[in-house]
């Protein structure tokens, strides 16, 4: 079997409302679509979410890179995923959103070729799991009101965005805990927004409200600072933007800079490297979470398949498809009261006229 064409397009999605994090405000979403076609008629669909704040890509650069990579891959066997990643990495450094789109399409194709759903192809630990849902930055009162709404919708794990104002971040957690009660699980995500001193102050303060983890309190490059914060607090520290690659994961492990690693397919360049990151974390005794950018059900079903597949991935932040109006993607994962279930259809189980 040989790759005969890699088709590239975009998927435009409308947000229900602007979404604010410490890195900036997102008002619209456009993702990269990739379709890998073969001489045997089997094809796979993938999605990449270029995000300037994290991967350094724009939609324009992601499209250009995907075209260049696509030309290099014509004639290769789509099942030779390790060889394909070697070619992509030799062709251009980084550009992980574009690479993730191709990688996801290859895994979708592989699942279809062997007739198994992707979560089984990757490991098959389970078929369903619980996801959190994210509360974007707003006024403390509005964030508390939104948290209460999400619990009423059936969610029981909340991820609270923070990092713009340390004092206000503490107040947000106080109000949210007051609004949702003691049984709801809370975690925070500062998106690199605090200094080390602020991180220690906030994390020591919110411990009283049962916050179970804080994600990326410091800038991505400050691994030593993350280790310092971790030694000063009892709440687990989660590394997100600090870990794009397996090499990054090893650096975090060696510096004892995190208790948990958040894997994102758009940071790692797809499922192939994401599995390697999880393996390094598992060998070091660290659990993982899989998170997301603003992706449709295509990218989210791929990430969710990895969560379900691996025993060491114990947490999930697979919620971004809930923030956009339906772009016409059919099939894929199903969501019910915060529980995501993967389809039994081969590959991603996604239907898209593309």
Cα–Cα distance list, 339 to 112, 233, 306, 319 (Å):
25, 31, 15, 11
326: pLDDT strictly greater than 90: no
From the candidates 264, 267, 297, 310, give the one annotated as an active-site residue: 264
Q: Is 240 in the active site?
A: yes
In tens, the pLDDT along 118-159 reads 999 999 999 999 999 999 999 999 999 999 999 999 999 999
Q: Is 232 in the active site?
A: no
Range 302-317 average pLDDT = 98
Residue 22 has a pLDDT of: 66
CATH of domain 120-351: 3.20.20.120
Distance of alpha carbon 150 from alpha carbon 143, whole angstroms: 11
In tens, the pLDDT along 42-55 reads 999 999 999 888 89
The yes-or-no answer to whether 3-115 and 120-351 have a common fold is no
Q: Where are the alpha helices (DSSP H) in the chain?
A: 59-73, 81-91, 96-114, 118-121, 140-152, 166-180, 196-206, 223-232, 246-254, 265-268, 271-283, 297-309
From the candidates 57, 103, 132, 215, give the one annotated as an active-site residue: 215
Annotated domain spans of the chain: 3-115, 120-351
Residue 18 has a pLDDT of: 74
Residue 317 has a pLDDT of: 97
Residue 52 has a pLDDT of: 87
From the candidates 35, 161, 267, 297, give the one annotated as an active-site residue: 161
From the candidates 146, 189, 248, 317, give the one annotated as an active-site residue: 189
**Could you tell me which residues come within 8 angstroms of residue 312 by beta carbon, excluding any fewer than 6 positions away?**
278, 281, 282, 287, 288
Decide: 46 and 34 in contact? Cβ < 8 Å.
yes
pTM of the entire structure? 0.96
CATH of domain 3-115: 3.30.390.10
From the candidates 47, 103, 240, 317, give the one annotated as an active-site residue: 240
Q: Is 161 in the active site?
A: yes
- End-to-end CA gap in the chain: 21
In tens, the pLDDT along 214-223 reads 999 999 999 9
Q: Is 189 in the active site?
A: yes
Q: Is 150 in the active site?
A: no
Decide: 27 and 15 in contact? Cβ < 8 Å.
yes
């Amino acid at each position: 079997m040989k790759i005969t064409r890699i088709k590239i397009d975009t998927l435009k999605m409308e947000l229900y409302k602007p979404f604010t994090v410490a890195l900036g405000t997102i008002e619209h979403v456009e993702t990269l679509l990739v379709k890998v076609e073969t001489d045997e008629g089997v094809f796979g669909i993938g999605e990449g979410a270029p995000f300037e704040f994290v991967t350094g890509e724009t939609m324009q650069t992601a499209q250009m890179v995907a075209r260049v990579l696509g030309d290099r891959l014509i004639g290769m066997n789509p099942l030779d995923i390790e060889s394909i990643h070697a070619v992509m990495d030799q062709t251009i450094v980084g550009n992980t959103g574009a690479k993730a789109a191709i990688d996801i399409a290859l895994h979708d194709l592989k699942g279809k070729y062997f007739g198994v759903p992707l979560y089984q192809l990757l490991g098959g630990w389970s078929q369903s799991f619980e996801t959190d849902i994210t509360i974007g930055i707003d006024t403390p009162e509005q964030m508390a009101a939104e948290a209460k709404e999400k619990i009423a919708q059936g969610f029981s794990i909340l991820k609270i965005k923070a990092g713009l104002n340390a004092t206000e971040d503490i107040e947000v957690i106080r109000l949210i805990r007051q609004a949702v009660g003691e049984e709801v699980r809370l975690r925070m995500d500062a998106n690199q927004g605090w200094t080390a001193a602020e991180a220690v102050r906030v994390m020591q303060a919110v411990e009283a409200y049962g916050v179970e983890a804080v994600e990326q309190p410091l800038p991505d490059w400050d691994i030593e600072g993350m280790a310092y914060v971790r030694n000063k607090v009892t709440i687990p520290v989660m590394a997100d933007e600090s870990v794009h690659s397996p090499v990054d994961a090893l650096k975090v492990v060696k510096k004892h800079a995190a208790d948990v690693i958040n894997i994102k397919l758009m940071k790692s360049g797809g499922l192939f490297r994401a599995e390697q990151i999880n393996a390094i974390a598992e060998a070091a005794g660290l659990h993982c979470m899989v998170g997301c950018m603003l992706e449709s059900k295509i990218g989210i079903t791929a990430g969710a398949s990895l969560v379900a597949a691996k025993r060491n991935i114990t947490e999930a932040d697979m919620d971004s498809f809930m923030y956009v109006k339906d772009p016409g993607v059919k099939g894929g994962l199903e969501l019910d009261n915060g529980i995501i279930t993967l389809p039994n259809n081969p590959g991603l189980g996604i239907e898209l006229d593309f």
